Structure 1
């Protein structure tokens, strides 16, 4: 009975469409004048901070501190896929108004085009952020979004490896089971996000047990 109750509790997750899980991510961005393309940017300028995107709400938020540049007049996310040595068009316009003090750029907006937010989340390597000011109208400092996605991708690979190992351990423990039960496990792989691989292993083991198992 406890197993049946557990399966009933899992049903909404197993039946949810694959697109039901929205994506969000926070990227650390480091900007310098050297990275400004085609340049020259401000050799004394720098900024560091984060950009967070959520493709369910369209929320884009940012928090930067900057130094060595004149007062910012514009800031954009540019992309995608600028040719080497060339600029890409502004993709999302970020406000230079700040809720912080001097030397900060902090704010948020709800971007109407959710597809654009999704595009950045799916391919952050193709985008960069830059800050403009009066002395450097083309851009004073710039930094890649995708350069910050390297660690995230590595974490995703590690997590996938952990899940695959957990699944192998389960299948070795329970032996052969009906094909439809394996399909449920594979569906759980796609639909259920569990941070702890061992927790996911226990859930799958429950689903892999044959009908009528005590």
Structure 2
């Protein structure tokens, strides 16, 4: 469990490090310029780490002690880290091979797929279909899978014989809230039709899945664990 939580926290640190430091520098310097190569690199790492984040989920909680072992845990973590990398590298190369004409201003906080597609010239139907397909595979399907497991957990908690219902609902509610914020905002961003009418809403949604939920996840999944809280108290003066 601690290996999984440590890997998950490390992933969240890496993911926000791709976008947040650059955003803070731009806000401080009031420049907001980024090179073509840097933009492509930022988007590539953002997509790869985002795909890993979508694949990392603690499922089948009710049988976790029975099905999980150190070997299985390592294999799952490694598979989630390398599973989406080739796909997202290919998607980045596909998008940045498009012709860009007219304005070179990315109306966003960082280099992401939707604002870059708005700058592309010519027919981008194939590119949009690829984005939709990968969004379904890496966002929608994991989201539905997680919701299915949480429904099973709810049915077990609501059984009359369950005496730890209050504690279970406390943990369950915080987990499902973060899951809904992350997958919900990402699903709307990548699956909705391209439009210039709601760019402010697009930026707001991107803050949820790019910054807020990575910040909340380590808190939700670690500080609610009494053993981790006890260890932190020993470390603090």
- Same structural fold, with TM-score higher than 0.5 when normalized by the shorter chain: no
Instruction: Report TM bin, short chain.
Output: under 0.3
* Structure richer in helix, relative to its length: 2
Q: TM-score, normalised by structure 1?
A: 0.25
Q: TM-score, normalised by structure 2?
A: 0.23
Structure with more contact order per residue of length (Cα contacts < 8 Å, sep ≥ 6): 2
Larger Rg: 1
